[in-house]
Amino acid sequence: MSYPREETRAQEPGGNTTSAARRVSSLTEWSHGLPQRHTLRLLETSTDRRAKSLEEMARAAIARIGELLDAPVSVIDMRGVVLASSDRFSEGASYTGDSGAVTVPMRLGSQLGQLIIGLPNEANRTPPHLVQALAELVVGRLIDSHSQNTKHRKDRLVHDLLLNLITNEAIILAEAHLLGMDLNQPRAVILINAAAYILQGFPSASDEHIQQRADSVIGSVVHFFHLPDDTICAYIGDGHIAILKASNTRNLAPWVDNSDPPGTLGASWTNLHALRRASEGLLQRLRSDTGVDVSIGIGRYHPGIVGLAHSYQDARTALELGCRFYGVGLVHVSTV
């Protein structure tokens, strides 16, 4: 998988902007004209959209199982309320229970539910253990599919945010919230060039192979920083991984050195010394995990969500110039 970089904003013959840039531009212009109450509503409805994702997966599971089994199927939430059912009249009501039902837990992020398959019709009776195995298989595949879709959306959001293709903070926050990304705390960009590992075998390597290797690098980042998940890491194409690293005092504490010059840690959140130490440790981890030389560029913190695009440009400049003048396999810091 490879996302376009700055070329996304290029012009087609005839002076027309590309379709991707045109869509983003029109969306941004539309949202800038919204009254404040409407932009706030974008944030409020993102929670509703997240809740609906479990319901949508529930309906997909019911449809698939309904094709294979002649049995009543329902999905309930943690309160025991029916989210979706083969009996549409029962939706929204409390589940009354079935002593012989087969149950399979469903988890989608922080959302919990339960798939319940009632007794099949006598003429089409299927052994319970086969019903259980079938239900678990269907639910597992749906969760995997949703996870891949979420990952792609997250990578696309980070890509567009860092390349300044979308600048309306209400839209960015709403989409980030839906994807479980916290963009409210100060963050700086750490840019990893792992092309020697991710694009190994390119151009014959498939998109799936490239994504697997990118996920492997992201997994190493997650373990190194002891992150709860990979939501602040994204593959942005060309063998590059972007990390939106929290750059406040609490998150950089393990890499703070008391011998640092005064003023490097404070209200500006610009502790490049600590970020560099963290990145040097990460570099060693990635070198060990991938078996190749990777390079890292660090951007300064810039205020605001749109400041991440400036931090990315810092990191990219540091990475490109650092590799050109000092070589690969090192950590390069923007000090301009």
pLDDT digits (tens, 9 = 90+) for 223-238: 999 887 767 899 999 9
- 152 within domain boundaries: no
Residue 65 is predicted with a pLDDT of 85
Q: Are residues 66 and 199 in the same domain?
A: no
Q: Are residues 235 and 312 in the same domain?
A: yes
- Of 245, 139, 240, the residue nearest 190 (C-alpha): 245
Q: Are residues 128 and 188 in the same domain?
A: no
**Residue bearing the bigger pLDDT, 127 or 35:** 127
Tell me whether residue 253 is exposed, middle or buried, using C-beta atoms within 10 angstroms of its C-beta: 0 to 12, 13 to 18, 19 or more: exposed
**Cα four-point dihedral sign 212, 218, 222, 225:** positive
Q: Are residues 190 and 322 in the same domain?
A: yes
Is the predicted pLDDT of residue 93 greater than 80, yes or no? yes
- 241 within domain boundaries: yes
Number of compact structural domains in the chain: 2
Q: Are residues 128 and 189 in the same domain?
A: no
Q: Residue 165, SS3?
A: coil
- The answer to whether the predicted template modeling score (pTM) of the entire model surpasses 0.85 is no
Is the predicted pLDDT of residue 278 greater than 80, yes or no? yes
Is the predicted pLDDT of residue 329 greater than 80, yes or no? yes
Q: Are residues 112 and 205 in the same domain?
A: no
CA–chain centroid gap for 335, Å, is: 29
Range of the domain at 302: 182-333
Q: Which are the contacts of 310, defined by CB distance < 8 A and separation ≥ 6?
A: 299, 300, 302
Q: For residues 223 and 244, is the Cβ–Cβ distance under 8 A? A: no
Structural tokens at position 86? 């083969």
- 266 within domain boundaries: yes
